[in-house]
Amino acid sequence: MQQQRPSAEAGEAGSPSRPTLESVAERAGVSRATASRVVNGGAGVREALREKVLRAVEELGYVPNLAARTLVTRRNQAVAVVVAEPESRLFSDPFFAQHLRGISRELSAADNQMVLLLIEEQRDYDRVGRYLAGGHVDGALLFSLHSADPLPEMARRVGLPFVVGGRPGWPGAESDRDLVYVDSDNRGGARLAVQHLQSLGRTRIATITGPLDQTSSMDRLDGYRDLLPDGDPELIAEGDFTPEGGMRAMSELLERRPELDAVFAASDLMASGALRVLRAAGRRVPEDVAVVGFDDLESVAAWTEPTLTTVRQDIEGMGRLMARLLLRRLTGPTPGPGPTSVITPTRLITRHSA
Amino acid sequence: MQQQRPSAEAGEAGSPSRPTLESVAERAGVSRATASRVVNGGAGVREALREKVLRAVEELGYVPNLAARTLVTRRNQAVAVVVAEPESRLFSDPFFAQHLRGISRELSAADNQMVLLLIEEQRDYDRVGRYLAGGHVDGALLFSLHSADPLPEMARRVGLPFVVGGRPGWPGAESDRDLVYVDSDNRGGARLAVQHLQSLGRTRIATITGPLDQTSSMDRLDGYRDLLPDGDPELIAEGDFTPEGGMRAMSELLERRPELDAVFAASDLMASGALRVLRAAGRRVPEDVAVVGFDDLESVAAWTEPTLTTVRQDIEGMGRLMARLLLRRLTGPTPGPGPTSVITPTRLITRHSA
């Protein structure tokens, strides 16, 4: 680990006298303009001079003047990631860890700083909006948006390029030519799950949905309905993507339709809750009730008892894609007509629960 | 949820023409200076005028010019939280969620934005250092530092006020009058754990430590040694604060000293791993081996089988304290001589494992 020793120039605590660009130029024996060009990443400086300047920067502990630098370069090399979820969910649902890992690796590779901003409560929106407007980041990745989420409009208003994770659900999004989003094939994935249950001969297939103000939940429910167009509405229960929500929904379903023989849970965490309730109710999985999840979370699906048959989506890959699309947007041409979307495929992973 | 509609002033996508401070002043019927004072939070503007300006800001969708605003106010109302842990641990160890919850609540209450920056690899330090130097935050909270961590020096070098979570372990920290840190009474807590095991008549008490390049691990080991000054070194195994690390350490201990009758694990997660290994080895807890953890994590200690006797530290409270001390530092006088430290008490919570 690289350890930096206190430098004499750091000055007295509380009132550090910062070295100036002039002092860097003087020490390096170059003009102020040359020093400025090197410090601000401009081209056209000979390598030998560049090295002299960088050595002087290092020796003096010089840091470019902050806000002023941003005014010149208009680039922070930093991207905000805004997650509209309470930190209790962010930290307990491995989905987010996998998603953020993809984002942070891609940003790192492009030497961009990931700046994570959480939205816990309604009043946090204004503050986050202010930070996004404050010139601290070059762009934003927005995810876990709910249907009337103000974040995209906030970013747009201040001219901040952004990419959305998940199909946008707000009115007018379909015809918004400036919108870029990444999603997985939620509807197709749900169809895979139900098809698999039907191929096993199951006929009373229930579903536990995610929160129905999120498009991923709606799309998975649509996929379920595609294959069960005349399905019994009492076989549908709404969860909230947590294990506890899955438990509650499974209990409701068992009470309403004790004869059910299969469940498609729209997330692995909800499926894990459902498995617990089925076990407690004395139902054998998969013999009495077959269960299919959604996500294929690394730390969940292979560890439930029995292990979980589930629909795999490439969570880390979606994170990487979001980051890549945003970085391209920050440097490239304006996008063409209509929203740009990248839909990543899903596939069925068969384990023991179905 | 508050939904903002697209405003006409936002202009064409891709090239929004931003409203200026002049247009705000004109619309509000005030001078540019007055508008500027309101926008930058300055005092001395009559309430009626203030409201006119704010209404114009809202109507025009004006945002203060970014970096320029920072140059004037020198305040971003934002605080960086830098966590030197891979995101795999950050998201799987509930310690961090509880700690961040305390920090984010306290910052929120003071209308400050929490800006989370993760350090995953060595090369991330430079990028994070650049962001800290970039004028994007007013101060920083640094935690999970390892002994030769460059972050404090980086922050100091750019004159950024910071508060450290955990006793600093680097050379010279004891006499650094500019240092502020928050820690819990790790050594005293470890003594409580060992005393409790001794009071149960246990005589072959092992310990599983955290990574020994972190002061919290060292302090807990010192507490253990305080009560077992002539202890058998073979009863000490190093873990890494994860359940898997606890499992590995417990297996080593059982192999080296099968006759052990108690274990003090320096974290609840490691204790949960140890319980699993003991169960697999056919040892009854607490009859054959009594186990005490450390942390009292909400989602862990009360859920292990058997439930975990542990040393409680106020994790959320420490987060709040760190935030409060930093906010005070941003506005208040320079600290007095010697490092400022706040050590929060620990206490024993007795459940079934010991």
What's the rounded Cα separation, in Å, for the pair A101 and A323? 11
* Contact predicate B21/B35, CB 8 Å: yes
- Pairing mode of beta strands B309-313, B290-295: parallel
Which of the pair, B209 or A69, is modelled with greater confidence?
Answer: B209
For the segment B24-39, what is each residue's pLDDT rounded down to a tens digit? Answer: 899 999 988 888 777 7
The whole-number pLDDT of residue A59 equals 77
Chosen from A2, A4, A180 to mutate, greatest number of chain B CBs within 10 A: A4
8 Å CB contact of A88 and B94 = no
Closest chain B residue by Cα to residue A67: B67
Residues of A in contact with B130 (CB under 8 A): 77, 113
B207 membership: H or E segment, kind and range: strand B205-209
Closest CA to A354 of A265, A269, A225: A265
Residues 163-182 of chain A whose Cβ lies under 8 A from any Cβ of chain B:
170, 176-178
Residues of B in contact with A63 (CB under 8 A): 133, 157-158
Residues 253-312 of chain A whose Cβ lies under 8 A from any Cβ of chain B:
299
Closest CA to B81 of B254, B335, B318, B331: B318
The whole-number pLDDT of residue B199 equals 97
Is the pLDDT at B76 greater than 70? The verdict is: yes
Alpha helices in A83-199 (DSSP H): 87-90, 94-109, 124-133, 151-157, 186-199
8 Å CB contact of B113 and A117 = yes
The whole-number pLDDT of residue B334 equals 57
CB under 8 Å to A140, separation ≥6 — which residues? A79, A80, A81, A82, A132, A151, A155, A160, A161, A162, A163, A326
Residues 81-140 of chain B whose Cβ lies under 8 A from any Cβ of chain A:
87-88, 90-92, 94, 96-97, 100-101, 104, 108, 111-118, 120-125, 127-128, 130-131, 133-136
The whole-number pLDDT of residue B67 equals 46
The whole-number pLDDT of residue B333 equals 61
A44 membership: H or E segment, kind and range: none
What's the rounded Cα separation, in Å, for the pair B193 and B253? 18
Chosen CATH of A78-185+317-344 out of 3.90.79.10, 3.90.230.10, 1.10.3720.10, 3.40.50.2300: 3.40.50.2300
B51 CA: distance to closest CA in chain A (Å): 18
Residues of B in contact with A101 (CB under 8 A): 87-88
Q: Which two tokens stand for residue A313?
A: 């989506």
8 Å CB contact of A10 and B156 = yes
The whole-number pLDDT of residue B337 equals 54
What's the rounded Cα separation, in Å, for the pair A49 and B219? 49
- pLDDT mean over A27-46: 77
The whole-number pLDDT of residue B218 equals 96
B204 CA: distance to closest CA in chain A (Å): 34
Same fold, B78-182+317-342 and B186-314: yes
* Contact predicate A209/A220, CB 8 Å: yes
Q: How far is CA A156 from CA A23, B112, B303, in A?
A: 40, 23, 45
In the sheet that B309-313 helps form, which strands lie side by side, from edge to edge? B236-238, B205-209, B262-265, B290-295, B309-313, B346-349
Burial of A153 (0-12, 13-18, 19+ CB in 10 A): middle
8 Å CB contact of B114 and A118 = yes
8 Å CB contact of A76 and B104 = no
Chosen from B77, B95, B114 to mutate, greatest number of chain A CBs within 10 A: B114
- pLDDT mean over A229-256: 96
Residues of B in contact with A1 (CB under 8 A): 122, 146, 148-150
- pLDDT mean over A198-207: 98
* Contact predicate A63/B157, CB 8 Å: yes
**Which of A14, A122, A136 minimises the CB distance to B1?**
A122
Residues 24-83 of chain B whose Cβ lies under 8 A from any Cβ of chain A:
61, 63-71, 76-78
8 Å CB contact of A71 and B68 = yes
Q: How many residues does chain A have?
A: 354
For the segment A270-303, what is each residue's pLDDT rounded down to a tens digit? Answer: 999 999 999 999 999 999 999 999 999 877 888 7
Helix axes B21-28, B47-60, angle to 10 degrees: 120
A333 membership: H or E segment, kind and range: none
Q: How far is CA B123 from CA A25, A56, A97, B118, B211, in A?
A: 27, 21, 20, 12, 21
Q: Which CATH class is domain B186-314?
A: alpha beta
Single-letter residue type at A199: S
What's the rounded Cα separation, in Å, for the pair A130 and A127? 5
What is the pLDDT of chain A when averaged over all its residues? 85
8 Å CB contact of A14 and B68 = no
8 Å CB contact of B108 and A127 = yes
Q: Which two tokens stand for residue B15?
A: 């090239």
Residues of A in contact with B113 (CB under 8 A): 117, 127-128, 130-131
* Contact predicate A116/A81, CB 8 Å: yes
Is the pLDDT at B18 greater than 80? The verdict is: no
The whole-number pLDDT of residue B37 equals 75
8 Å CB contact of A1 and B64 = no
The whole-number pLDDT of residue B341 equals 82
What's the rounded Cα separation, in Å, for the pair A272 and A221? 19
**Which of B61, B91, B134 minimises the CB distance to A157?**
B61
Q: Is A305 helix (H, G, I), strand (E, B) or coil?
A: coil
Architecture of domain B17-73: Orthogonal Bundle (1.10)
A109 CA: distance to closest CA in chain B (Å): 10
* Contact predicate B253/B263, CB 8 Å: yes
What's the rounded Cα separation, in Å, for the pair B86 and B100? 15
The ipTM assigned to this model is 0.71
Classify residue A159 by its DSSP letter: T
Residue-range domain boundaries for chain B: 17-73, 78-182+317-342, 186-314
Which of the pair, B30 or B67, is modelled with greater confidence?
Answer: B30
CA B150 to chain centre: 17
Is the pLDDT at A343 greater than 50? The verdict is: yes
Residues of A in contact with B13 (CB under 8 A): 156, 176-178
Is the pLDDT at B232 greater than 70? The verdict is: yes
The whole-number pLDDT of residue B260 equals 98
> Residue B290: how many CA atoms within 13 Å on its side-chain side?
21
Single-letter residue type at B236: I
8 Å CB contact of B4 and A178 = no
- For chain A, list the strands marked E by DSSP: 78-83, 113-118, 139-143, 162-165, 180-184, 205-209, 236-238, 262-265, 290-295, 309-313, 340-344, 346-349
- pLDDT mean over A243-259: 97
Q: Is A245 helix (H, G, I), strand (E, B) or coil?
A: helix
For the segment B145-157, what is each residue's pLDDT rounded down to a tens digit? Answer: 877 788 988 888 8
What's the rounded Cα separation, in Å, for the pair A189 and A318? 15
First to last CA, chain A: 48
- Percent of chain B clearing pLDDT 70 (strictly above): 87
Q: Does domain B78-182+317-342 have CATH number 3.40.50.2300?
A: yes
What's the rounded Cα separation, in Å, for the pair A302 and B217? 32
Give the confidence band of B186 by pLDDT, cuts at 50, 70, 90.
very high
- For B221-345, list the strands marked E by DSSP: 236-238, 262-265, 290-295, 309-313, 340-344
Residue A331 contacts B, CB cutoff 8 Å: no
Architecture of domain A8-73: Orthogonal Bundle (1.10)
**Which of B97, B127, B177 minimises the CB distance to A91?**
B97
